Structure 1
Amino acid sequence: MQAISLIVEFSIKPEHREEFLAVMRTHAANSLKEAGCLQFKIVTPSAPMDDRVFLFEEWKDQAALDWHLAHSALNDTRKRYDGWIFNRHITHGRVVAP
């Protein structure tokens, strides 16, 4: 089985950036406790005016990701930040090298 990666790009409303990051830190910590979560990193650009935040997630396999999507607090997390973002783009892929 190949590991699955997600790269999630958010554009955040500036007045909600710190709230968003706090929610994502909690979500990342909870996700890392799930059996199939291999990595969950929050990345912010170095440019001071860049409104984006990226998540880099790596899951053991599609079944682990499917479990996360169905059973984690993801939907509640999305409801919390929904009004704080302009856009969300998800790239789903397979890890081809360690």
Structure 2
Amino acid sequence: MRCGIRLARQPRQKRFFFIRKTHTWKKQSRASKPDIHTPCGIRHIELFEAPDKDRLYLFEEWQDQDALDQHHAQPYTAAVFKSYEGWLAEPPRILPLNGLK
């Protein structure tokens, strides 16, 4: 199960510092303690910034839909989405992705 998440910043927000900092911390934590800091079922996560620096794209690969649903049901995920309020121009847009064959 793959998905892409589009995050668009508010015009008054200068940078995506918080998300970049959080993403870097997660990558470092996952490398050092995958059993504690990695949500169960995630296989890959990667963050990209658009050239205009107004949008970030987060690409995730999950074991299956159930693992993604479980992740979204966790209190820590709700807290992250709550923290986005006020500095995103719109709610995060989550898109299911299919590989090309």
TM-score (norm 2): 0.72
Cα-Cα RMSD: 2.6
Identity fraction in percent: 22
Higher strand content, 1 or 2? 1
The count of corresponding residues between Structure 1 and Structure 2 is 92
Deviations, residues 27-47 of structure 1 (Å, cap 9, x unaligned)? 6657971231001111112x2
> Given the two structures, how large is their TM-score scaled by the length of structure 1?
0.74
Equivalent position amino acid for 1:18 in 2 = F
Are the structure 2 counterparts of residues 82 and 25 from structure 1 closer, same or farther at C-alpha, using a change threshold of 3 Å?
farther
Cα offset for 1:23?
Answer: 3.2
List structure 1 runs of 4+ shifted beyond 3 angstroms: 23-32, 93-97
What amino acid is the match of 1:53?
L
Which position in structure 2 is the counterpart of 1:61?
Answer: 64
Which amino acid in structure 2 is aligned with residue 7 of structure 1? G
Residues 69, 27 of structure 1: CA spacing in aligned structure 2 closer, same or farther, 3 A cutoff?
farther
The answer to which of 27-36 and 54-63 deviates more is 27-36
